[in-house]
Structure 1
Amino acid sequence: MILRTLVRADWRLLVRDRGALFLTFVLPLVFFTIFALIFGGTAGSGGGDLKPLRVVAIDEDASGLSAKLLDGLFEAAALDRLDGVETVDAAVVLVREGDADAAVVVPAGFEDAFGDFGSTPPAVRLVFDAANPMARFTIDGLLQAASFQAAPLVLMESGFDALEQFGGGATAEQRAALDALSALIEGERDGGADTGAAAGGMGALIAIDATAATERDDGESGPSIVDYYAAAIGVMFLLFSMTGAAGALLEEEERGTLERLLMSGVGIGPVLLGHWLFFALLGFAQLALMFVFAWLVFGLDLLNAQVLVGVSVVGLVTAAAASAFALFLAAACRTRAQLSGLSTVVILVMSAVGGSMVPRFIMPAIMNTLSSFTFNGWALDGFLAVLWQRDPDGSMADLLGSVALPVGVLVGATGLLLVLARRLARRWETV
């Protein structure tokens, strides 16, 4: 009887606490849905369609074999061909700036060397975006499959040509057999032969020279996944620390400190601005510590002048926006416990969707779209423009121009959130 009464009392307390109910029953389902969409789409299990890889193709050989190779490559639904790019340099720039995931360059002389058994064909060049390492291996495999689809006739005809040249020629029956076999191969290819299985069973047929678009000519290594997560984890925990610090405003209200401060003639506006400035500086220091640690321990390229300036600019506006976001949540809540519950839900969801937990390049298209509505998504866009997509030969003006959009969005968000926080804080002026 006593146990039943205690259980009933605990249940009533839980039902009255809507935040606890949400954390207990709703938040796990929200996170399950997010990760099911991400990894369900990745595995092709119906959770959503992956965003196709955007690929630029440059055909320097302009031959029948190179055309068949590229046609076979882009038959894959996982690839989206970007047209209008005519030079290799332009294609590399497009990949480096994040407007394409990879560029495929078929070099001149590819078909002639491919059909010549006495020489090795030049390697197909694959330039990929280091921010999306999946692009390299996906396109590498599809290129090998496409080579098996395009090559049989070339190899067979070259072999018969060599036989005629060095072996006394082929008979009429042999030539008829060659024509029949050619028609059979063409029919199987048009009918959707499993060239991928053939590629997997026979190994590589063509050589592929894969390089990251950010690879340096001076031999220095380009960015790594450490650079990505230095920004991703830094932004997520910045949000947590800012909302935790903003809870001091609610503590001041509970202790009566805020009331005495307002009665002394200091308006709520200066109080909010003072807290915002301190929290923003605190957040910038937190981000700075994260990047310095990544530099010292994991080799992040922080001493480069452009990287240092770019990270500082993006870090300042990110910290300012996070501080304004925290003040907005604090002004919207009545107690620190309420702030803690609400901020945990909002920050975890934004971090999952915005790329702080899982890189956005493996997310399906719908998740990439949703990330544009998150704080984490825009902050990461700014940091990645500096750490991943920066042109090593570009100027400081080029770098600042590349971060102009995410910086502008974060600055606008800062102003909007401060205005909303000020309006919500009017309740304290009536105390």
Structure 2
Amino acid sequence: MIALLAAIKKEALLLVRDWHALALLFIMPLVFIVIMSMALQERFGIEGGVQLTGQIHDLAQSPSSQAFLQQLRGTDHLSLNAHQGPLSQQGDLFAITLQPAFDQALAGANNQAGVLITFAAELGKRERMLVGAAVREVFAVFNSTLIAEDLGYDRDYAEAEFLRTGFIEVDTTTPSSLSTPTAVQQNVPAWLIFAMFFVAVPLSTAVISERQLRTLARVKTFGASTTLIYTAKLTPYFVINIMQLLLMLLAGNQLLPLLGAEGLGLAVALGPLMVIGVCTSLAALAMASLLAATVSSTEQATVTSAAINILLAAIGGVMIPVFVMPPTMQAIAAWSPMAWALDGFIAVLVRGGSWGAIALPALKLLSLACVLMILAIALLKRGQQDG
């Protein structure tokens, strides 16, 4: 036990002195979290109440078109103005034009459209569908009210009867198992996971440097086992991972609101959140250990570990959320350990899950950690014997 503690102290001192590695492990994920959360908050919020800004033009100038325009302005999804000019992603995203023949089209007297919707060229398909759906919803209320009036009902009564908002109650207290994360809920755990796995770079280079200097062989002459040596080596990195977890969650909760972004809510089950973080760390350390056991130079370790982590992040939902990927890519993402970890974090942070919600991703991460660590220790022992 004394030998283990002494070895841990030695590894911790070496790691603390390597401020380049510490900067990589702490500053990099913090910068990514801030940039990606700020840049994507509106994109992620489109389905969550953010209004799309566009133009409204009434070329009919009739009582019916004015009534329809008034109802359009009352929708929660669209912010309408009377601007003139080109449409762009940086300005007005769409234009709704009530055509001169609006009344005739409304009465079914011709085959022309009464409303024309045009979009900025770069506007995505999802946003176009949202605008179209919002306009159709308003027209459904407007047209049905007109029909009810024709049948002799008072207009206010007709609108109230058609809407009947109290007839359907939506329960918003229980998070849905299919809830889509916000930009902050997606990016804080995603880049935290990426940073945890990026521990492979400093860890693998440290192991290879000591192997080249035969430091490990000299330590073994004192009777220390390979398992003890690598347990001591991994412990400081495990502590670093837990510090990353705490600091990135704190940054999401406290720093992002100061910068104008939505804060990360932490009124969740903190126990399962910490457990999925620990399981992620163990899988990351095991992968780093196997990498260190299979490469022969620090240059190979740096390039290979960085490439593997970027690949796992790309297919695992870190760089591109899994829920926006096509089905084929979602099936591929299911094989990435970063996707398992992200599933666990989102289950807690977004859907309010507890122990049962993280059971499967935690089991996958622990199983992977055990398999990779067994392989790593076996390869390290064989390498020492060959040396």
- TM-score of Structure 1 vs Structure 2, range by shorter chain: 0.5 to 0.7
Q: CA deviation at 1:399?
A: 0.7
Q: 1:428 aligns with which of 376, 381, 384?
A: 384
What is the SS of the residue equivalent to 1:341? Answer: helix
Match of 1:162 in 2: 152
Q: 2:325 aligns with which of 363, 368, 382?
A: 363
Q: CA deviation at 1:313?
A: 1.2
The 5 Å alignment of 1:24-173 reads: 140-141=130-131, 143-144=133-134, 147=137, 157-162=147-152
Looking at structure 1, the residues matched to 360 and 125 of structure 2 have their Cα atoms a distance apart, in angstroms, of: 25
Match of 2:314 in 1: 352
Q: 2:225 aligns with which of 249, 267, 270?
A: 267
- Count of matched residue pairs: 247
Match of 1:66 in 2: none
Match of 1:295 in 2: 253
Matched AA of 1:232: A
Q: CA deviation at 1:139?
A: 7.1
Q: CA deviation at 1:384?
A: 0.3
Looking at structure 1, the residues matched to 204 and 293 of structure 2 have their Cα atoms a distance apart, in angstroms, of: 9
**Alpha-carbon displacement from aligned partner over 1:222-265 (angstroms, at most 9, x marks no partner):** 97421221111111122113432232111111111011123333
Looking at structure 2, the residues matched to 223 and 215 of structure 1 have their Cα atoms a distance apart, in angstroms, of: 16
Does the C-alpha gap of structure 1 residues 354 and 429 become closer, same or farther in structure 2, counting only changes over 3 Å?
A: same
Q: 1:228 aligns with which of 186, 193, 200?
A: 186
TM-score (norm: length of structure 1): 0.50
Is the 8 Å Cα contact of residues 276 and 320 (structure 1) preserved in structure 2?
A: no
Looking at structure 2, the residues matched to 213 and 226 of structure 1 have their Cα atoms a distance apart, in angstroms, of: 24
Is the 8 Å Cα contact of residues 147 and 206 (structure 1) preserved in structure 2?
A: no
1:239 aligns with 2:229: no
1:321 aligns with 2:279: no
Q: CA deviation at 1:326?
A: 0.6
Match of 2:17 in 1: none
Q: CA deviation at 1:361?
A: 2.1
Looking at structure 1, the residues matched to 238 and 273 of structure 2 have their Cα atoms a distance apart, in angstroms, of: 15
Looking at structure 1, the residues matched to 232 and 170 of structure 2 have their Cα atoms a distance apart, in angstroms, of: 45
Looking at structure 2, the residues matched to 334 and 212 of structure 1 have their Cα atoms a distance apart, in angstroms, of: 60
Matched AA of 2:289: L
Looking at structure 1, the residues matched to 264 and 234 of structure 2 have their Cα atoms a distance apart, in angstroms, of: 30
Is the 8 Å Cα contact of residues 316 and 338 (structure 2) preserved in structure 1?
A: yes
What is the SS of the residue equivalent to 2:335? Answer: coil
Looking at structure 1, the residues matched to 264 and 339 of structure 2 have their Cα atoms a distance apart, in angstroms, of: 22
Matched AA of 2:310: L
Matched AA of 2:379: L
Looking at structure 2, the residues matched to 135 and 214 of structure 1 have their Cα atoms a distance apart, in angstroms, of: 27
- Consecutive unaligned residues of structure 2, counting only runs of 5 or more, are 1-46, 48-123, 156-161, 258-262
- Consecutive unaligned residues of structure 1, counting only runs of 5 or more, are 1-52, 54-133, 167-204, 391-397
**Alpha-carbon displacement from aligned partner over 1:122-160 (angstroms, at most 9, x marks no partner):** xxxxxxxxxxxx999677546446658977985675454
Match of 2:349 in 1: 387
CA RMSD across the alignment: 3.8
Is the 8 Å Cα contact of residues 242 and 322 (structure 1) preserved in structure 2?
A: yes
Match of 1:399 in 2: 354
Looking at structure 2, the residues matched to 319 and 295 of structure 1 have their Cα atoms a distance apart, in angstroms, of: 21
Matched AA of 1:422: I
Does the C-alpha gap of structure 1 residues 423 and 137 become closer, same or farther in structure 2, counting only changes over 3 Å?
A: same
Looking at structure 2, the residues matched to 272 and 355 of structure 1 have their Cα atoms a distance apart, in angstroms, of: 31
Is the 8 Å Cα contact of residues 191 and 318 (structure 2) preserved in structure 1?
A: yes
Is the 8 Å Cα contact of residues 312 and 338 (structure 2) preserved in structure 1?
A: yes
Looking at structure 2, the residues matched to 369 and 318 of structure 1 have their Cα atoms a distance apart, in angstroms, of: 21
Is the 8 Å Cα contact of residues 329 and 339 (structure 1) preserved in structure 2?
A: yes
Q: CA deviation at 1:332?
A: 1.0
Is the 8 Å Cα contact of residues 343 and 361 (structure 2) preserved in structure 1?
A: yes
Looking at structure 2, the residues matched to 232 and 135 of structure 1 have their Cα atoms a distance apart, in angstroms, of: 25
Greater shift, 232-241 or 372-381, is seen at: 232-241
Q: CA deviation at 1:411?
A: 0.8
Looking at structure 1, the residues matched to 164 and 385 of structure 2 have their Cα atoms a distance apart, in angstroms, of: 72
1:414 aligns with 2:369: yes
What is the SS of the residue equivalent to 1:162? Answer: coil
Matched AA of 2:312: M
Looking at structure 2, the residues matched to 226 and 155 of structure 1 have their Cα atoms a distance apart, in angstroms, of: 41
Matched AA of 2:318: S
Q: CA deviation at 1:281?
A: 2.1
Is the 8 Å Cα contact of residues 214 and 389 (structure 1) preserved in structure 2?
A: no
Does the C-alpha gap of structure 1 residues 157 and 289 become closer, same or farther in structure 2, counting only changes over 3 Å?
A: closer
Matched AA of 2:378: R
Matched AA of 1:379: A
What is the SS of the residue equivalent to 2:151? Answer: helix
Matched AA of 1:415: C
Matched AA of 1:383: F
Looking at structure 2, the residues matched to 334 and 400 of structure 1 have their Cα atoms a distance apart, in angstroms, of: 41
Looking at structure 2, the residues matched to 346 and 207 of structure 1 have their Cα atoms a distance apart, in angstroms, of: 55
Is the 8 Å Cα contact of residues 301 and 307 (structure 1) preserved in structure 2?
A: no
Is the 8 Å Cα contact of residues 347 and 358 (structure 2) preserved in structure 1?
A: yes
Match of 1:276 in 2: 234
